[in-house]
Amino acid sequence: EKPVTCSPSAVVIGSRLDVDAFSNTCRIALHGVLLVPITDKDYDKTVLPRLKVYKIKSREGVVERAQDERLVIGKGLFKRETKIHSFVGLNVYLSTGEVAVIESAFGTTGKFRLTVPNGLKPETLQLLQGTGKKKGRAKENQQESSTTLQEPHQSVKIYLQFKRYVFDPDKRMK
């Protein structure tokens, strides 16, 4: 948060002063030997972006439908206003064990396309059959769909875990 004066190769201990001193938690945040002293006044623009400090983030969504054994449409992972192109190419994991890759946005409502390189398992395909919306006359299909919706349906979840680099000016994720 603010610069501290110290000698080269000094032992440094950083503590979390925002934690209550009387709580039953450790307030030591970091410790170690100072390797490179920073003397640049614009260190936040020159030095900090080179540091690989990251936070692990995770998101969870569901599979809406499978178009075929290699292409899946998902939802719930991103908000409508999220720029999905930042996440393109990241791996996601399905609750059934498959690994997929985020391919592109699907419409403007936060839905997205996933490619499953090894294909979906047959039992996953069977689980996803009939999860899409039915098109046709609303009143006739409403009675049919109300009986099918009462059956317990297990959805396939999508898990995304990525590293968000704290000092990266481009806010890239890996």
Closest to 152 measured CA to CA, from 127, 132, 172: 127
Q: pTM for this one? A: 0.67
- Give kind and range of the element (H or E) at residue 73: strand 71-75
So what's the pLDDT on residue 160?
94
pLDDT tens, residue order, the chain (174 aa): 677 888 888 898 888 888 887 888 888 888 899 888 888 888 888 888 888 888 999 999 999 988 888 999 999 988 988 888 889 999 999 999 999 999 999 988 889 999 999 988 888 888 887 555 545 444 444 444 444 443 445 689 999 999 988 888 877 777
Q: Give the number of other Cβ atoms within 10 Å of residue 113's Cβ.
A: 19
Reading the block at residue 33, the tokens are 């030997």
Q: Which residues of 85-103 are buried (b: 16+ CB within 10 A; e: fewer)?
A: eebeeeebebbbebebebe
d(CA 83, CA 9) in angstroms, rounded, equals: 43
Spell out the alpha helix ranges (H) of 25-156. Answer: 43-46, 122-128, 138-149
Which amino acid makes up residue 68? D
Q: How far is CA 54 from CA 5, 102, 168, 174, in A?
A: 25, 21, 9, 10
Q: Give the number of other Cβ atoms within 10 Å of residue 132's Cβ.
A: 12
Q: How far is CA 69 from CA 98, 106, 128, in A?
A: 11, 17, 10
